[in-house]
């Protein structure tokens, strides 16, 4: 199976119903607009969609299946996850997987990620079973630390399956995976690193563009106030390349060799993401952005929020 070379990925976490959209992002986007975004993605050559069972309170992956059928898009690449939470525990991978297949109207998943590092060995064994049946084309892990990634690589290696990728939280203001050696390890081992929330759920967008408020944005506001210096640098870099501020955050990741997953609901967002992934920033610009990001001392919850579901190591 050839490795899927991802340039950028469309995140579907904010697809869903009216109340969900308003609570999360302050606005609801009509299905017709999301379908237009999918058409734009095809135009731009962005074919990968990232889903999970609970995105949009269970609605997002169903929407993807329906819309792909309506738009005759049987060539999209689906990145789905096994989320070992609530009633989905050890022994439940197949049940969850089959539900995903039914939602997206497919008989295989291109990339299947273990969403959290719990019961790693058992869950990966269950995924290996599906891989050997040809139902999963690539296996990845998400929200894993370096030690857990090495364990996953060894387990898969014994079954002669390469670890496709690591999908973790990473952005201009959350770069710990670079500092602690994860990115270097991925590069050395030919493992893709996909970054979720490269726009920090809207914090790394243009502060001059006003959007509708939401409970989520209310919690972000104090952090955004710490980021004026970073916004100044992002605006200057954006101006130099004739791009937007969020494109600077996306391009920053792409210039690190990281695959940005960005929550897109509108055609312009998809177009901007595709363009940003091709923009070359200079080493001076990258340095200035990092310096301003470090100075901002904004804190985000990131993947730490998920560690509460992971049993502590003894
Ligand atoms: N593996 C994991 O554990 C995990 C965890 C979280 C997320 N993810 C994946 O990562 C994806 C991305 O994360 P996310 O969706 O939470 O947040 P995100 O991509 O960091 O940010 C989404 C926000 O940015 C805005 N936006 C997107 N493109 C824009 C553009 N070009 N210009 C201005 N604003 C723009 C969106 O606006 P609108 O409000 O207008 O849509 C939305 O408010 C998710 O959808 C999901 O697929 C994975």
Q: What angle do CA 213, 217, 218 make, to 5 degrees?
A: 90
Is the C-beta atom of 168 inside 6 A of ligand 1?
no
**Whether 74 contacts 68, CB under 8 Å:** yes
Residue-level pLDDT at 221: 83
**Whether 46 contacts 261, CB under 8 Å:** no
Q: Where are the domains of the chain?
A: 9-307
Q: How far is the CA of 201 from the centre of ligand 1 (A)?
A: 5
Say if residue 312's pLDDT is above 70: no
**Whether 33 contacts 265, CB under 8 Å:** yes
Please state the φ and ψ torsions of residue 79, each to the nearest 5 degrees. Answer: -110, 110
Residues sharing a CB contact under 8 Å with residue 158, sequence separation 6 or more, in sequence order:
none
Is the C-beta atom of 20 inside 6 A of ligand 1?
no
Q: What is the mean pLDDT of the chain?
A: 94
User: How large is the greatest C-alpha to C-alpha distance in the chain, in angstroms?
Assistant: 53
Is the C-beta atom of 265 inside 6 A of ligand 1?
yes
Mean pLDDT along residues 258-272: 98
Domain 9-307, what architecture? Answer: Alpha-Beta Barrel (3.20)
Q: How many C-beta atoms lie closer than 10 Å to residue 208's C-beta?
A: 8
Measured between its terminal Cα atoms, the distance across the chain in Å is 37
Q: How far is the CA of 177 from the centre of ligand 1 (A)?
A: 19
Q: How far is the CA of 193 from the centre of ligand 1 (A)?
A: 17
User: 141: helix, coil or strand?
Assistant: strand
Tell me the pLDDT band of 212, cut-offs 50, 70 and 90: confident
pLDDT in tens, 220-257: 888 888 899 999 999 999 999 999 999 999 999 999 99
User: 140: helix, coil or strand?
Assistant: strand
Q: How far is the CA of 91 from the centre of ligand 1 (A)?
A: 31
Tell me the pLDDT band of 313, cut-offs 50, 70 and 90: low
The minimum-distance atom of ligand 1 relative to the CA of 276 is: 31
Mean pLDDT along residues 33-47: 98
Q: How far is the CA of 108 from the centre of ligand 1 (A)?
A: 25
Is the C-beta atom of 196 inside 6 A of ligand 1?
yes
Mean pLDDT along residues 199-219: 87
Residue nearest to atom 43 of ligand 1 (CA): 202
pLDDT in tens, 135-194: 999 999 999 999 999 999 999 999 999 999 999 999 999 999 999 999 999 999 999 999
pLDDT in tens, 48-69: 999 999 999 999 999 999 999 9
Is the C-beta atom of 246 inside 6 A of ligand 1?
yes
Q: How far is the CA of 190 from the centre of ligand 1 (A)?
A: 26
Q: How far is the CA of 102 from the centre of ligand 1 (A)?
A: 25
**Which spans in 26-142 are helix H?**
31-44, 60-70, 93-104, 120-132
Nearest to 249 by CA among 195, 168, 305: 195
Say if residue 105's pLDDT is above 60: yes
Rounded CA-CA distance 1/194 in Å is: 19
The minimum-distance atom of ligand 1 relative to the CA of 247 is: 31
Is the C-beta atom of 203 inside 6 A of ligand 1?
no
Is the C-beta atom of 56 inside 6 A of ligand 1?
no
Whether the pTM exceeds 0.85: the reply is: yes
Mean pLDDT along residues 63-84: 97
Q: How far is the CA of 68 from the centre of ligand 1 (A)?
A: 20
User: 258: helix, coil or strand?
Assistant: coil
């Amino acid at each position: 199976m050839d490795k899927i070379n991802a340039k950028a990925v469309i995140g579907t976490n904010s697809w869903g119903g009216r109340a969900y959209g308003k609570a999360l992002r302050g606005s609801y986007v009509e299905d017709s607009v999301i379908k237009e975004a999918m058409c734009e993605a095809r135009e731009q050559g962005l074919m990968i969609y990232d889903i999970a069972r609970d995105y949009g309170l269970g609605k997002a992956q169903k929407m993807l299946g329906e819309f792909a059928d309506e738009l005759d898009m049987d060539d999209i690449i689906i990145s789905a996850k096994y989320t070992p939470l609530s009633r989905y525990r050890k022994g439940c991978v197949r049940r969850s997987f089959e539900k995903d297949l039914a939602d997206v109207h497919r008989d295989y998943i291109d990339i299947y990620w273990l969403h959290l590092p719990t019961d790693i060995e058992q869950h990966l064994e269950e995924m290996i079973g599906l891989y050997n049946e040809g139902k999963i084309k690539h296996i990845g892990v998400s929200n894993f630390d370096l030690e857990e990634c090495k364990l996953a690589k060894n387990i898969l290696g014994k079954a002669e399956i390469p670890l496709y990728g690591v999908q973790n939280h990473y952005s201009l203001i959350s770069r710990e995976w670079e500092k602690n050696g994860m990115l270097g390890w991925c590069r050395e081992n030919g493992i893709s690193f996909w970054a979720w929330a490269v726009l920090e759920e809207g914090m790394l967008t243009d502060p001059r563009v006003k959007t509708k408020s939401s409970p989520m944005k209310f919690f972000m506001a104090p952090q955004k106030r710490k980021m004026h210096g970073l916004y100044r640098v992002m605006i200057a870099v954006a101006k130099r390349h004739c791009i937007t501020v969020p494109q600077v955050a996306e391009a920053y990741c792409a210039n690190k060799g990281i695959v940005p997953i960005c929550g897109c609901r509108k055609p312009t967002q998809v177009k901007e993401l595709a363009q940003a992934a091709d923009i070359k920033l200079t080493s001076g610009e990258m340095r200035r952005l990092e310096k301003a990001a470090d100075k901002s001392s904004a804190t985000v919850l990131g993947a730490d929020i998920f560690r509460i579901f992971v049993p502590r190591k003894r």
